[in-house]
Structure 1
Amino acid sequence: MRTTVGIIGAGPAGLLLARLLHVAGIDAVVLESRDRAYVERRQRAGILEQGTVDVLRAAGAGERMDRVGLRHDGIELRYARRRHRVDFPALTGGKSVLVYAQTEVCKDLIALQLEQGGPLLFEAEALAVEGAESDRPRVRFRHEGREDVLECDYVVGCDGFWGVARKAVPAGAARVFERTYPFGWLGVLADVPPSHDELVYARHDRGFALLSMRPPSVGRRHPSEEVASLPVESFVSRLYLQVPEGTDAEAWSDEQIWDELERRFETDDDWTLRRGPITRKSVTAMRSFVHEPMRHGRLFLAGDAAHIVPPTGAKGLNLAVGDVVTFARALTHQRETGSAELLDAYSETCLRRVWQAERFSYDMTVLLHRAPDATPFEDRLQLARLERLTSSRAAEADLAEAYTGFAFG
């Protein structure tokens, strides 16, 4: 097989890149090791920044997102039984975020790719990237029981932390920065309407908690396509609890989970937490990771292949979108002008945004989570930071600007 851009991985990054290249008239082939059903039900992020929403619309992938997604104009912070709302539009000049699950983004992009785009091969396992330093890199892969080779002008690895793309970068040519956290998130999906119409981030002496939501197609039988302009009451609850690292999700009973959520979301007013059947439980590890550079020869890394953030700041999916937008713009620029200037700057351009997102995600994590060995002094510092954040418009605006998204490029 021969193509201009070989894309490894059909997550949101790989699929969006294929779509952007198709719109620009550049051919690409997408290789995905899993089957279509797995990709379309793989649960990940659910918050889209303003810039991500704009890119999906411009790429022709926004019709169902606009119909089903739920716009959020703020978040609520809770601590010491207090509630404080951060108003995004008022603090950022009109920006907001959209609740629309990664699974739904993937469904939309897969449908577009299969209908209008180039080859999208499911159950095509990438085995290795070869010749990244040459002008004809190759991806060896296995599909339908036999090995094949995809010859490319460029390879973009959107295949995650454990994929083959990053492994093709020689150890001596890369530098890795990482941090692991001594806690994780116990996440549950519950078939009950959310208890609040926006996300709630809670700092509590017992640990962090988050109240979020997902469109009904994630947790109920009827597809979200059947409903237009969904109200928040039609969504299902997605909730998280800080738990010790290595926790087994099944060790928590449903009743224990609801009881603990109630404790951590407690307030001094009459707010109540809605309970309902828990349909899914899982534990997410917390880590920060950056691989520099994000390019080696004609191999470009994007998304989790190059960087991972703790989910506190809702940045993972949006960072991946920024990467592929940067690559698509750079390759289009080269086609139109003959200049490789933007391609050569790919890693540097992406890493500026990546490190700002890493900084923000780290700050949100240490602000709201209680470390297992936290001292009373550190507890009081957390509360002091929250007091500053909720009493200073400048501090609040900094959070709102980061949460709604850093500019691409």
Structure 2
Amino acid sequence: MENLSTLPEKSEQLAGASVGINLKNEQILNVNAHIHSPYSFSAFKDIPEIFELAAKEDVRVLGINDFYSTDGYEQFNDLALKYKIFPLFNIEFIGVNLQDKEKGIRLNDPGNPGRVYLSGKGLSNPPKLDEPYFTQVKTIKEEIVKRVGQMAEKINELFEEINSDIRIYMEEILEKYAIDLVRERHVAKAVRVKVFEKYNTVEERYQFFEQLYSGNQPSANLESNAEVENEIRNMLLKAGKKAFVEENSKAFLEVSVIKDIILNAGGIPTYPLLADNPKGEYTRFEQNKEVLLEELKARNVYSIEFIPNRNELNRLKEYAMFFWNNGYLVTFGTEHNAPDMIPMTVETRGGIPLDEELRELSYKGACVVAAHQHLVAKGEDGFVKANGDRNEESLDYFVELGHTVISKYMQ
């Protein structure tokens, strides 16, 4: 196997390749293009576990996608070589579009007008980030850790109020549960672990959480780590709850700045499309796919991604195929950005697998990212140029190149 930077020139890669849209079934690899590692928050205990589980499910292309961090890239790359799994190097930010906020438009955060999640696909590896972008990202992370520390202090005050000797400390959270970036999910995990260590029975845990929740009865399965941690967040850390701390505006960059950061890092600005919820509803920004397409073009964004376990299969397919047929990069992933250990294989809502057409599209999207990574590593324009404009080459061109890159990398 070879590293991306040592693969042949693109003219050599494409010699004899004529894959285009005619991939054979055996050429289509299972892909998960969006998973979080413990460098942000993750269901996985460490990066090796990610690759162990991916190998068990025959996921052959895997994309790391941490919030605000590329710190996991080196280990991710090393393990990708070991397991013969092709690595995609990504990142994720939460930003704000002030114009959308003023208009009350909800994008891919249904609870916060103007708030937007934005990913970068196919970043350079080793990571690179020039000033002022490096400092801007560092400041965001510092603000997030500061806010989470204040939440931890409030949790300790709640423990005192109910005469409990349980305490959580940021130093301990960093040592045991987090790497560099601490988020509110880490606080919930620390609380759950401390309570479970002190109280062994369901009855004891029930009584304690009822006290901690100010008399509100817990509804989570008190033998389930994931359910308890999610309930701790909902009961104590969300807006309006006792341990909630308002987010500082410094923790949110304007979307235009985030795009510049992603481009500077060699990546593709990507809009994570929330799409349909269990009631079949869409946010105002996403409710009309034709309008959404034109809006994203106007914002110079030519790539979208889905977390399909949120979506009904046919609705997902309608949006995904529409954007691909209009020249957009489309990728799929699972996130694993919660305590629940769900399958590594991408599935739609209710555990329904991607159909053959979507599975092929998932691989083609990964090929485009692979081609982009390869071209940028060679100092050439990838799927998007350094200024964010869409490359004139067709999706088929990038699929062919990316498929060849992945195939040679796997040898």
Q: TM-score range by the shorter chain?
A: under 0.3
TM-score by length of 1: 0.24
More helix by share: 2
Q: Which has the higher contact order (CA 8 A, sep 6+)?
A: 2
More strand by share: 1
TM-score by length of 2: 0.24
